[in-house]
Chain A
Amino acid sequence: VRNAFADEVTKLACEDQRVVLLSGDIGNNLFEKFKLSSKGRFFNCGVAEANMMGVAAGLALNGLRPIVYTITPFTTTRCLEQIRDDVCYHRAPVMIVGTGAGLSYAELGPTHHSCEDIAIMRSLPGMTVLCPCDSLEIRLMLRQSLLHDGPIYMRIGKKGEPAVHDTAPALKIGQSITVRKGTDVCVLSTGNVMPMVLEAADTLEKEGISVRVESFHTVKPLDTKRLNEVFRRYRIVGAVEEHNQIGGFASAIAEWAMAQEGLLGRLMGFSLADRFLHEIGSQIYARERLGLSAQVLVDGIRRRHNAL
């Protein structure tokens, strides 16, 4: 997905002279085309993310459309106050991109994990929070983001993630996409866990439990129209994310459901345990150690379904 991001940003910058790309000293050879085709609009801001975020706000306040790109903890928690004060408080149209989100960098250890970014970013007034599930969603979101007049946070993976959509879906920020139809259970999936969700849905399907799957790529603002439809139609609604169980996507859905009469009990959250993972391993290994896998989804949903 990293390459798709770089490719799409390069195209957009050619089409829209307002696009400026700021990188925190990462993306070696990733932005060479951008630098050539949009001269003077790429800045390696160094290993100095607080400054980079403030610079982005200043650019945006003067009419440009900066995109800030670095590894997720460094583009979120490292410079959180700059995001809060300089970007969000000013309603500056800065697009903040966190690469290697969630456990994408499992092998690098917790300094490079980001399992709290959704919680933190969505608590900032005016911030839009996007979690695309594949390259196509990233491309479409980038394009739409330029039409949005406010701050955006987008968490993406690293490289080699499988495609979910065969063809470009009709994507609109704030509107969930139905990836698979089903009648018994609905699973709302956000971000990079979609392949795992589809695997679980396949298994459940074979057991006779029909699962609808939604790509809930926008965590803020929530697609409440879709939530209303789904929660009234399905007695089991799962919310899946590669994120701490505190404050993320499932929490956001729970906050919405709390305000509805009798719907909260239909929700099942599938998130990560609230702890640091000290052991090194693959992304799948790290997920499992923190309590998230296709099997966990299958077991949980089957148990709830059989109890109905």
Chain B
Amino acid sequence: MKRNLEELDRIARTLRARTIETSHRTATPHLGSCLSCVDILTALYFQVLNIDPARPSHPDRDRFILSKGHGAPALFQVLAMRGFYPETTLENFGEDGSYFGEHPPTPPHVPGVEAATGSLGHGLSMGIGMALSARILSRSHRVFALLSDGECNEGAVWEAAMFAAAQKLDRLAIVVDFNKWQATDRSENVMALSPLVDKWRAFGWSACEVDGHDLEALIEVLSRVPDDSGRPVAVIASTVKGKGVSFMEDDNNWHYRIPTASEVLSAKNELRVPA
């Protein structure tokens, strides 16, 4: 299903608005981290991934793992809009007994969720296992994992990076949501992440940099998986934490802050989404 960029932009704006609204309604944090990856999720789910929401367990589906599990509030909105479940299902978000919370639950509690994450640095290794299984079972599906830059502090990420490269898993790709912040500081102040693209390249990956809010560029680079390098692909997506709402952009207070009712209205206004 091909959609034009204008339609994808509308989808991304709507997803942002719904995520902000849900954060307000349910007092769910990590809004800044959710907003920075909305365009990446939109490109993947509405254009790149070979998936069928009516058959979420099809063995040949592309796998997507939200390794930065705290982006789940955004992912849940994406899955609903993509048709994995009705949007009304999300009404119980955050309530006692709901599967919709701050992190993705284990499959198959929410259709479309491939792995439960939350503790950082787990998703890539699980994705490698899925990519290896495709090779062993002679299946051609691809595996995508979305990591945060703070997540790249974890040593396990680099164990996984070296192993995937040694196995030449060219049907595996990661996107790093490189918003330059982690929970309490600029990511560069905490760990020497830069030069991040060069690091992934040095670890044996086919690495490139892209504007993580340029849907056309994201689609182009992610659609090239596998590229012709024979290596796993690392897309370092340069993003802005809190993207799309002027008073949230690049303000790390929104890692934990919950928007007020009037802030939700202002945000929707900026996003050109009806109140």
* A residues with CB within 8 A of B: 20, 40-41, 43, 45-46, 48, 50-64, 66, 81-82, 85-86, 89-91
Q: Which residues of A contact B121 (CB under 8 A)?
A: 50
- Asked if B107 and A58 make an inter-chain contact with CB atoms under 8 angstroms apart, the answer reads no
Per-position contact with A for B117-146: 1 when CB-CB < 8 Å, else 0?
011011011111111111111000000000
- Asked if A90 and B116 make an inter-chain contact with CB atoms under 8 angstroms apart, the answer reads yes
Contact of A50 among B106, B116, B135, B159 (CB under 8 A): B159
Q: Which residues of A contact B129 (CB under 8 A)?
A: 54-62, 66
B8 adjacent to chain A (CB < 8 Å): no
Distance of A86 Cα from B124 Cα, bound (Å): 11
Which of A41, A46, A51, A57 gathers most chain B CB within 10 Å?
A51
- Asked if B136 and A41 make an inter-chain contact with CB atoms under 8 angstroms apart, the answer reads yes
B29 → A minimal CB distance (Å): 20
B248 adjacent to chain A (CB < 8 Å): no
Distance of A91 Cα from B162 Cα, bound (Å): 27
Given that A90-B106, A90-B115 are contacting pairs, would A61 and B159 also be in contact in the complex, using a CB cutoff of 8 Å?
no
Given that A54-B156, A58-B127, A90-B115 are contacting pairs, would A82 and B133 also be in contact in the complex, using a CB cutoff of 8 Å?
no
Given that A51-B160, A51-B163, A54-B156 are contacting pairs, would A85 and B122 also be in contact in the complex, using a CB cutoff of 8 Å?
yes
Known: A50-B125, A50-B155, A51-B160. 9 other contacts (CB 8 A): A20-B132, A46-B162, A48-B162, A55-B160, A58-B133, A59-B133, A63-B59, A85-B118, A86-B125
- Asked if B115 and A48 make an inter-chain contact with CB atoms under 8 angstroms apart, the answer reads no
Q: Which residues of B contact A41 (CB under 8 A)?
A: 136
Distance of A41 Cα from B155 Cα, bound (Å): 26
Q: Which residues of A contact B156 (CB under 8 A)?
A: 50-51, 54, 82
- Asked if A48 and B163 make an inter-chain contact with CB atoms under 8 angstroms apart, the answer reads yes
Closest 9 CB pairs of A and B: A58-B129, A54-B125, A48-B159, A62-B133, A51-B159, A58-B126, A50-B156, A55-B129, A59-B129
- Asked if B122 and A86 make an inter-chain contact with CB atoms under 8 angstroms apart, the answer reads yes
- Asked if A82 and B162 make an inter-chain contact with CB atoms under 8 angstroms apart, the answer reads no
Q: Which residues of A contact B135 (CB under 8 A)?
A: 40
Q: Which residues of B contact A48 (CB under 8 A)?
A: 159-160, 162-163
- Asked if B115 and A55 make an inter-chain contact with CB atoms under 8 angstroms apart, the answer reads no
- Asked if A85 and B119 make an inter-chain contact with CB atoms under 8 angstroms apart, the answer reads yes
Distance of A272 Cα from B231 Cα, bound (Å): 49
Q: Which residues of A contact B115 (CB under 8 A)?
A: 58, 61, 86, 90
Distance of A90 Cα from B119 Cα, bound (Å): 14
Given that A62-B129, A90-B106 are contacting pairs, would A54 and B160 also be in contact in the complex, using a CB cutoff of 8 Å?
yes
A62 → B minimal CB distance (Å): 4
Which of B135, B159, B160 gathers most chain A CB within 10 Å?
B159
Name B124's closest neighbour in chain A (CB-CB).
A54
Q: Which residues of B contact A56 (CB under 8 A)?
A: 129
Which of B107, B128, B162 gathers most chain A CB within 10 Å?
B128
- Asked if B163 and A62 make an inter-chain contact with CB atoms under 8 angstroms apart, the answer reads no
Q: Which residues of A contact B160 (CB under 8 A)?
A: 48, 51, 54-55
Distance of A62 Cα from B139 Cα, bound (Å): 11
Contact of B137 among A53, A57, A61, A63 (CB under 8 A): A63
Name B154's closest neighbour in chain A (CB-CB).
A50
A232 → B minimal CB distance (Å): 40
Given that A50-B159, A51-B125 are contacting pairs, would A58 and B116 also be in contact in the complex, using a CB cutoff of 8 Å?
no
Distance of A52 Cα from B162 Cα, bound (Å): 12
Q: Which residues of B contact A54 (CB under 8 A)?
A: 122, 124-126, 128-129, 156, 160
A-B contact pairs, 20 of them (CB 8 A): A40-B136, A41-B136, A51-B125, A51-B128, A54-B124, A54-B125, A55-B132, A55-B160, A55-B163, A57-B126, A58-B128, A58-B133, A59-B130, A61-B126, A61-B129, A61-B130, A64-B133, A82-B122, A86-B125, A89-B116
